[in-house]
Amino acid sequence: MLELTDISYYYGEHEALANVSMNIQRGESVSLLGANGCGKSTLLRILNGLIFPSSGKYMFGGEPITKKSLSKQAFSNRFHSRIGFLFQNVETQLFCTDVYDEIAFGPRQAGMSERDVDIRVKEIISLMKLGGFEHRTPYHLSGGEKKKIALASILALSPEVLALDEPMNGLDPKSARWLCEFLAKQNALGTTLILSTHNLDLVNEITKRSILFSEEHKVAADLPTLEMLENIELLKKVNMVDEHYSSYALNYLPRRHID
């Protein structure tokens, strides 16, 4: 469904991605792992058509995603309704007067009638257990609530692919657990998940495949998630974990796997 071939990206003269290639199938759940600044967020922005690679090719559903193709309104609308993006900083993602309008923004932009928008918003509010928040101002809510609302506003367009940049950031353990289960459920229902994260404790529960980025902004490994987490030498090599993680992972991960 998503095909990237030899993608490179430069911020001025600074290289953010170097010859990255990957293929993500429909319904897959993939985590992008790597140390800070390795290019995960840049890759997610490319996948969402917010920036365009300096070189290489990106295909979504068999169609090339370029500046030219996204300049066509109809194509751009179709593309953005198929892929949803949860930003790392959700505060900037919430821009409407109240939660209802925030969730309704996407369906209204897609040209749905006000009656259908209302049905859709109520469905999402019930799905995300956001009853009572409809008329609250989004940016006055807590971090976990903001994240839920940002996710609800994306799900209102029923995207086939969900791209999430550090979704567990700033969440308390209970909210992180809820999000983890929610994402796993969405994936089981057929939504393709692509998430960048540092949270190695929960990544195994959400995704089955992991792509590890090196500090040289290249793909260092593409393995099943559990196998990746057990390969401590590899994680150490890309500077993602230290010796403290080794003891934790060796004791904890295999046991949880057996459970």
Tell me which residues touch other proteins (CB under 8 A).
45, 48-50, 73, 76-77, 80-81, 83-85, 87, 89, 91-93, 95-98, 101, 105-106, 108-110, 114, 136-137, 139-140, 153-154, 157
Nearer CB in complex with other proteins: 125/241: 125
**Least distance in angstroms from the C-beta of 160 to other proteins:** 14
Task: Please name the amino acid found at residue 160.
Answer: E
Nearer CB in complex with other proteins: 44/203: 44
**Least distance in angstroms from the C-beta of 172 to other proteins:** 19
**Least distance in angstroms from the C-beta of 44 to other proteins:** 11
Question: What is the b/e burial string over 6-26, where b = at least 16 CB atoms within 10 angstroms of the residue's CB?
Answer: ebbbeeeeeebbbebebebee
Nearer CB in complex with other proteins: 149/235: 149
Q: Which residues are paired to 20 by β-bridges?
A: 7
**Least distance in angstroms from the C-beta of 214 to other proteins:** 26
Nearer CB in complex with other proteins: 160/230: 160
Question: What is the b/e burial string over 104-136, where b = at least 16 CB atoms within 10 angstroms of the residue's CB?
Answer: bbbbbebebeeeebeebbeebbeebebeebeeb
Nearer CB in complex with other proteins: 39/49: 49
Among residues 40, 36, 33, 35, the alpha carbon closest in space to that of 17 is found at 40
- Report the distance separating Cα 4 and Cα 2, nearest Å: 7
**Least distance in angstroms from the C-beta of 31 to other proteins:** 20
**Least distance in angstroms from the C-beta of 221 to other proteins:** 29
Nearer CB in complex with other proteins: 111/190: 111
Half-sphere exposure of 161 (CA within 13 A, CB side): 21
**Least distance in angstroms from the C-beta of 226 to other proteins:** 31
Nearer CB in complex with other proteins: 69/81: 81
State the first-to-last Cα distance of the chain, in angstroms, to the nearest integer: 33
